[in-house]
Amino acid sequence: MSTPPRMPDASSIAPVLSIAVIGPDNFSRDTVINALSGCLGSLTPDLVTDPARVDEEALAIASNCNVVIVGLDRDPDFALDLVQTICDHGAAVVMVYSAQADPDLVVRAMRAGAREFLRLPLDPGAMADALAQVSARRKAAYISQRADGELYVFLGAKGGAGVTTLACNFAVALADESKKNTLLIDLNLPLGDAAINLGIKAKYSTVDALQNAARLDASYFANVLVRYSAFLSVLAAPTEMTPYEFSKDAFDRLVGVVRQEFDYVVVDAGLRLDLQRTALFDKSATIYLVTQVGIPELRNANRLIARFSEQDSPNLEIVINRYESGAMGIPDSEISRALTRPPQWKVPNNYAAVRKMQNTATPLALEDSTISRTIRKMVKAACGNAGIPEKKKGFSFFR
């Protein structure tokens, strides 16, 4: 037998929530208002009206209210259009109510942006629980007015440089080393492999987040992220070849929101040089430029280093991946000359270890190897734990 939901303390909600109820049917609308009154005491909603007359008022409702509750039964199509309009143009949390619980209607409401689907007649405590969640999110929004989380972007100088391998293992090690909330974003669209490398399946993807940029917040991310470990979440690339086209604003919104929600954000940017004018390459970010010892790779890296040497550019660290001293007859002095500066990191070549990781979905960071030790050094330098002795054994996660 489940425990009935606890009724929230009215004083914790009433001072911070401004609520509008929109519905054409007097009886169902009054049912919702009575449920609100039971949670909050004396309540006068900001607006009680017929949806057919509020189309032009939708933006005003969204800007003036914290919560908008919309009835669906009279004209579901119009009501859902109104829900989407409010969600796209305002910060209000939208709930819907209906005497019908048709699964298709529920899905359509969620896709339109509704956060709660209230079935009439209301179960005891359903409204209270919904408002308590809204209040908690608003409280979290105030708390999140802190310094942005650190942003680490892995960018390749050429295809096949090993960006995904390094980004995934860096994120795994960073979450374990810091014990802080960390997010890995796969922006290597449309064929990102971060989820495969970590052995996870994702229902939603980076494309879903970018397509809903106007509605991005902590609650939305709770539904689209995959939890990999206690401190690491993943926003994966789509599993299929999904057509996509996004504006700079969408990327800026994504980066801005995740940096408010997470202490560390790690991005597998692949070869996404087209994103250099977005917040992804903000001057506060750290860019790990991943290259190899080869003429094409070093040439590309040289040009990118010149680009990132401009004023107000992000911090740039050069990573030589699959490094072998003297490989291809190119001495270290020539590598530094080609790059115009010495690389900060040299990740040893270990084909067998990387292949095993890809086949078993067990990150290198979970084992002890020459590659994992270098990645841990990068992590310790990034999160300020450079003086901590390296671990001799692989660490584990509860999954």
Residue ranges with strand state E in 15-135: 19-22, 48-49, 67-71, 93-98, 116-119
Tokens, residue 148: 């942005």
CA distance 58 to 188: 37
Angle (CA) 79-83-88 rounded to 5° is: 145
Q: Which of 8-12, 209-213, 316-320, 350-354 has the lowest mean pLDDT?
A: 8-12
Of 347, 396, 393, 4, whose CA–CA distance to 172 is shortest?
396
Residues 218-259: pLDDT tens digits? 777 777 888 898 899 999 998 887 777 888 888 999 999 899
CATH value of 10-143 in 3.30.420.40, 3.40.50.11540, 3.40.50.1980, 3.40.50.2300:
3.40.50.2300
3-state secondary structure of 67: strand
150-383 and 10-143 share a CATH fold: yes
At 361-370, the pLDDT tens digits run 788 888 888 8
The tokens describing 206, both together, are 């980076």
Domain boundaries, given as residue ranges, for the chain: 10-143, 150-383
> With a threshold of 0.85, does the pTM exceed it?
no
Kindly state the tokens that stand for 210: 């970018």
Q: At what angle do helices 370-383 and 163-178 cross, to 10 degrees?
A: 60
pLDDT tier, 331 (very low <50, low <70, confident <90, very high otherwise)? confident
CA distances from 353 to 131, 195, 198, 270, 346 (A): 50, 18, 14, 21, 16
Higher pLDDT, 69 or 141: 69
Confidence of residue 391 (pLDDT cuts 50, 70, 90): very low
Enumerate residues 6+ apart whose C-beta is below 8 A from 264: 149, 150, 152, 174, 175, 178, 180, 181, 182, 183, 383
- In this predicted structure, what is the pLDDT of residue 1? 34
**Is residue 188 a contact partner of residue 234, using CB atoms and an 8 Å limit?**
no
Q: What is the pLDDT of residue 37?
A: 77
Mean pLDDT of the residues in the chain:
81
Superfamily designation of domain 150-383? P-loop containing nucleotide triphosphate hydrolases (3.40.50.300)
pLDDT band (50, 70, 90) for residue 45: low
Q: Residue 5: its pLDDT value, please?
A: 33
* pLDDT, tens digit, 9 for 90 and up, residues 149-186: 999 999 999 988 899 999 999 999 999 999 899 999 99
- Sorted by sequence, the CB contacts under 8 Å of residue 368 that are 6+ apart come out as 391, 392, 393, 394
Residue 54 confidence (pLDDT): 57
In the structure, what pLDDT confidence band is assigned to residue 145 with cuts at 50, 70 and 90? Answer: low
Both structure tokens of 165: 């391998």
Region 183-202: mean pLDDT is 89
